Amino acid sequence: MVETPPHARILPVVEPKAKSPPSFEDALTKLETIVEAMESGDVPLAALLAKFEEGTALLKICEARLKEAELKIELLKKSKDGSPALAPLPATARDE
């Protein structure tokens, strides 16, 4: 059997840990920056497409965080007798 010298051994590839999604505030700030850059008209088409894709991903993160917050608010509402009760947010609060 031929032995592989130590310097020629292949090491397993270690995948970096997946980043956790940014907070709502960080995602929104980054999204606003992307929108401003896109609206400036100074972004080349290839970069514009990349920014659009990144912005779409950030928008999904923001929407998910808002939905989570909305559900938590609904769960935290109490009825008059103190027992938990689901109460949907008024339509005007959801649309803002």
Is residue 10 included in any domain, yes or no? no
Task: Give the model's confidence band at 50: pLDDT under 50 very low, under 70 low, under 90 confident, else very high.
Answer: very high
Mean pLDDT computed over 53-61: 95
Instruction: Give one DSSP letter per residue of 66-96, joined into a string.
Output: HHHHHHHHHHH-B-TTSSB---PPPHHHHH-
Q: Is residue 94 part of a domain?
A: no
b/e code 77-96 from CB counts within 10 Å (16+ = b): eeeeeeeeeeeeeeeeeeee
In a domain, 95, yes or no: no
Overall domain count for the chain = 1
Residue 16 lies in a domain: no
9 occurs within a structural domain: no
Position 96 scores a pLDDT of 45
For residue 65, the surrounding DSSP H or E stretch is helix 45-76
**Long-range contacts for 72-76 (Cβ within 8 Å, ≥24 apart)?**
none
Predicted structure pTM score: 0.59
What pLDDT score was predicted for residue 66?
A: 94
CATH of the domain at 34: 1.10.287
